[in-house]
Structure 1
Amino acid sequence: MGGLVMTDPASEEVASNDLFGPTPRERVQRIWSSCWIDYPAASQALKRLEWLYDHPRVHRPPCCLIVGESNHGKTTIARKFKRMHEQTFVDGGTSSKMPVVYAQSPPMADIPGLYSNILRAVGAPTASTASALRKQDQVLNLLTRLGTRVLIIDELHTILDGKKDQKGLFLNVLRHLTNELEISLVGIGTKGVLRVFQTNQEFGNRFTPFTLPRWQVGPEYAKFLANICRHGGLQDVAFIKNKTLVRRIHTLSEGLTGETWEVMCTALERMDETGRMAIDGDTLDEIDWTVPTDRRRQT
């Protein structure tokens, strides 16, 4: 998805708003430490994933594509869902269940690479010389034994770099996995991957898209900003009542979840450096920030 945005949180909820630690280093670590902050679009996405998780096993299980722009919270939602259904150990620890498996899509629609990534995600060693068929058998056997109900493949837009026939074969492998295992598959990627799936009627019908919209300036966005600040240790969040300031943060982040997180953490760090007690226009003036669109033009 690009950009690490609130991934792998150590805590599931927004922490207390006391500054953590007496030293600048500890305060910076507190500001940038990962956490889960709920918001409406994320709640809706998690509800959709939970519906897939609870769906009875059928030969053609429903699947989903979570689609959004780069650095917009897609991976964070997927990892949050995985943590909601963690691996458990049974039979005195001699075996385990992994109801949700999360893996990355390899570059260039590489089918053996996909199998290797899934095997790595479940902690299964595989020889680099193993054939694609051998790896496929391992994946099918292991996910069956682990009782997997949902398979998540992130960064699915990497298949766009593959040739047309490679992309077609890769999609067929995804279909084969979900049909053979009778589990739901969730693909995560940017909007380009949606076009690939919709060019095939069967895949377009099977993989229902869930699009994460950009934030709009309003009460929910202001609440999101406040919660980021509270996590970072800022007690005074009165700035969210300043519509001009909130709009400016929205402009800097272009309404993207991950960009908003990074703008706010950068501003909190600058505020701490200057000894200010609140975020204001001067703080935003002083941060080193380039809006995402300009950043992409420079690359």
Structure 2
Amino acid sequence: MAEHLFEHVRPVLAAPLAERIAFIRAPRWIGTDAALAAHRRLQGLLDRPATLRTDGLMLVGPYANGKTLIAERFVLQHMDSAPERRVWVAQTREGTGLAHFYASLISGLGAPASGLRSVARLSEQVDALLKALRPRVLIFDEFHNALRGRARDVEAIFAFLRRLGREYDVSPVLIGEVAVYDHINATTEMASRFQALPVPRWRYGENYLALLDTLEAALPLAYPSELSQEPIARRVFALSEGLIGETVRILSEAAILAVHDGGERITPRTLETLDYTPLSLRRRAALRQDLL
């Protein structure tokens, strides 16, 4: 029984209901080609020799497509791998201007909020942290948030990214939507410093069907759902719109529904009962009209 599941997942079938649900909801790493390629490139930044002009990476793609999870897993892998922590992540905050950008970086580097409002003082605190911590790779998640301000603030942020290599031997990694790619490639100077690593939407085909097989093996349901077979595979793809984050969310919620109703497998009827609205349609969803 349960031959369709990964070996480490099979014991979860016998766990109490709450534990099974928690296992289904837990974030899970999926070693896709794009994810593995990203990790190889990130490792290359970590292993490079010292230089006065560091190269950077852009991990670019649509929302809900696994970019942040790729970065978080890489950080976790290197948390305890060296005497000094070498990889840090800054969650770029909503809000425009240098003050918001520096505050994001200070928080990402583990320093308590200082309450400073002066850009100059915030810049001094960032410099002090970089000198003390000596990071090797600095990841800016949702970097598109930093690009919504005045042109002079955006240019100042780009100048800071250039200074990271010259003064601190840090390789910056920018994670975000296509706006990051557009802004970086707007000038030859910045484009020469960052290589793009795309995390595109999935296309319907053998690779996507293999992804569904992998997810089916990771979800503790007693019976096989045959997710890679028509028409259920087409339905999952249509609901997810080719986004891996949406695919995982849809199948996780469907698996929980299958556990609760006793069916122990995901079927087209399960997806219909789920009544899931794709991201692109949520502005026009009936629920929104009810809120007016």
Please say whether Structure 1 and Structure 2 have the same fold, judged by a TM-score greater than 0.5.
yes
Aligned 1:134-213 pairs, distance under 5 A: 134-213=121-200
Aligned 1:1-299 pairs, distance under 5 A: 15-19=8-12, 22-87=15-80, 97-129=84-116, 131-237=118-224, 239-297=226-284
Q: Which runs of 5+ in 2 are unaligned?
A: 1-5
Structure 2 partner of 1:6? none
Supply the distance in 2 between the matched residues of 1:163 and 1:183 (Cα, whole angstroms).
Answer: 26
- The CA deviation string for residues 259-280 of structure 1, in whole angstroms up to 9 with x for no partner, is 0010110110111121113211
Q: Which runs of 5+ in 1 are unaligned?
A: 1-12, 91-96
Shift of 1:85: 1.1
Shift of 1:248: 1.4
- Residue 17 to residue 222, structure 1, CA distance change in 2 (3 Å): farther
TM normalised by structure 2 equals 0.87
RMSD: 2.3
Structure 2 partner of 1:3? none
- The CA deviation string for residues 267-299 of structure 1, in whole angstroms up to 9 with x for no partner, is 101111211132111111110200111124557
The amino acid that maps onto 1:56 is P
Supply the distance in 2 between the matched residues of 1:297 and 1:204 (Cα, whole angstroms).
Answer: 38
Deviates most, 81-90 or 251-260: 81-90
TM normalised by structure 1 equals 0.85
Secondary structure of 1:38's partner? coil
The amino acid that maps onto 1:286 is T
Asked if 2 retains the 8 angstrom alpha-carbon contact of 1:116 and 1:135, the reply is: yes
Asked if 2 retains the 8 angstrom alpha-carbon contact of 1:14 and 1:35, the reply is: no
Percent identity, aligned pairs only, is: 30
Shift of 1:166: 2.1
Supply the distance in 2 between the matched residues of 1:14 and 1:293 (Cα, whole angstroms).
Answer: 37
Deviates most, 193-202 or 261-270: 193-202
Asked if 2 retains the 8 angstrom alpha-carbon contact of 1:14 and 1:231, the reply is: no
Q: How many pairs were matched up?
A: 281
